[in-house]
């Protein structure tokens, strides 16, 4: 199972620090250095979640 958290807020309010401080691992989706397959897998999972009638 893959778990994910969405942290929203204005720029420079500590979102990245908060996520990094409380997680065991992290993947930066906007980072072009991340392997393509990780970004593609995340995109597929996100599309599946958004297709569901009830958002989690």
Structural contact between residues 22 and 16, judged by C-beta atoms closer than 8 angstroms? no
Residue 41 lies in a domain: yes
Percent of the residues in the chain that have a pLDDT greater than 70, as a whole number = 66
Closest CA to 40 of 22, 27, 24, 54: 27
Which residue range forms the structural domain that includes residue 37?
Answer: 27-55
In a domain, 50, yes or no: yes
Structural domain includes residue 22: no
The pLDDT value recorded for residue 1 is 53
Whether residue 5 is contained in a domain is answered as: no
Reported as a single tens digit per residue, the pLDDT across 17-38 is 998 898 877 767 666 666 777 7
- Does the pLDDT value for residue 10 go beyond 90? yes
11 inside domain: no
- Is 31 part of any domain? yes
Total of domains in the chain: 1
- Residue 38 maps to a domain: yes
Cα–Cα dist 23/20, whole Å: 6
Q: Which residue has the higher pLDDT, 24 or 50?
A: 24
């Amino acid at each position: 199972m893959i778990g994910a958290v969405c942290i929203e807020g204005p720029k420079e309010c500590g979102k990245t620090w908060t996520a990094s401080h409380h997680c065991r691992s992290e993947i930066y989706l906007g980072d072009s250095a991340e392997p393509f397959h990780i970004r593609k897998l995340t995109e597929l999972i996100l599309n599946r979640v958004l297709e569901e009638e009830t958002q989690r």
